[in-house]
Structure 1
């Protein structure tokens, strides 16, 4: 059976918020960033923001069309105000970033 060619990159960022961060304000900043990604970043496909039940640990999953677009966006986002607001609420000592590609499961 021929497998459908799935061309995308999943960016996964694990992090904690800075102590004292208002979770509602953080979610508003995340929504503003999603809007900026949709309107300003080529190759953006979608985004899901998740957290543990105690809201202590967060995972941001962003889908890009390819690795080049994901890496280009990392550079471009530094100058986007919505991104600056979003990352200002994240504890910079607690960030793990991975770019993942789909495995070819056909044998």
Structure 2
């Protein structure tokens, strides 16, 4: 099988907020974390935070330059205050994380 020419890794995190979490405070925490990602993590490309119309389910999509950068960031973020604030508002019982790489569609 041919190795995929990997130009990025997409990190997708599905979650719910903790009961009673203020959505505006959560979005402010997400914005603060995005700023940290942009300034302190060289493999970071872009990020999109989405939610269902009723705001019960959330999806955080982050693009990294490669898998190594994504995994390194995951370990380093644990000690970053902006990340700690962001995850403190997430229900830890309902998190699904995946790292996805682009499929090679050329034959």
Calculate the TM-score normalised by the size of structure 1: 0.94
The SS at the match of 1:56 is coil
Unaligned ranges ≥5, structure 2 = none
How many Å separate the matches in 1 of 2:51 and 2:94? 14
Alpha-carbon shift at residue 64 of structure 1 (Å) = 0.1
Question: Could you tell me the TM-score, scaled by structure 2's length?
Answer: 0.94
- Output aligned runs, 1:67-82, within 5 Å: 67-82=67-82
CA contact (8 A) 2:10 2:63 kept: yes
Offset from partner CA, 1:65-87 (integer Å, 9 cap, x none): 00000000000000110000000
* Structure 1 residue 6, shift from structure 2 partner: 5.4
2:17 corresponds to: 17
Structure 1: gaps spanning 5 or more residues: none
Q: How many residues align?
A: 103
Task: Please show how residues 1-107 of structure 1 align to structure 2 within 5 Å.
Answer: 7-107=7-107
